[in-house]
Amino acid sequence: MKYPNAVALATVDEQLRPAVRIVLLKHVDEKGFQFFTNYEGRKGRELLANQQAALCFFWDALGRQVRVEGKVEKLDSASSDAYFQSRPRRSQLGAWASKQSRVIESREILEQEMEKLEQQFPHEVPRPDHWGGFLLKPTSFEFWLEQDNRLHDRFEYLPASPGQWKINRLSP
């Protein structure tokens, strides 16, 4: 698998119209799932306006899927700065150059912007204010395991009490 950390992120806009796109999961721990993006792009704007979101991992070769639903919050600046500094230089410059989700006239304009940024930031590239991380704090999980005859195993995890999860088997 080229991107085992690729995950479909589902959000909704102000009219509750759903949108889904792939993001790369960068960290997971007991607090939740972290990913990074442009706050001014469509997904960033949607997450800032409505903090409910869902993730779906699908690993076809393994016959596995994991769905996660929860509330999203913006990561603190220090976490976003730390991850940004770990990125390759061209990716850092790309965060400045891209007006994510906005219409552009041509690829040439994007490449010209990258050239200008190379000169503007000859050494360290600071994190732009419009770019950073989100944390999805899970409120439910569903694990799907492929089985013969489409009688797949599905397990739903719902919060029961602090630190405890109720596990339900779901019909396929």
- pLDDT, tens digit, for every residue of 54-72? 999 999 999 999 999 999 9
Q: How many helices (H) and strands (E) does the chain have?
A: 4, 9
Amino acid at 171: S
CATH class of segment(s) 6-87+129-170: mainly beta
pLDDT tens string 111-148:
999 999 999 999 999 999 999 999 999 999 999 999 99
Residue with tokens 């088997």: 169
Identify whether 150 is a catalytic site residue.
Answer: yes
Task: Give me the residue spans of the domains in the chain.
Answer: 6-87+129-170
| 64: Cα within 13 Å, side-chain hemisphere | 7
Is the distance from CB of 170 to CB of 154 less than 8 angstroms? yes
pTM: 0.91
CA 9 to chain centre: 6
Of 42, 45, 90, 150, the catalytic one is: 150
- Alpha helices for the chain (secondary structure H): 42-49, 77-86, 89-97, 107-120
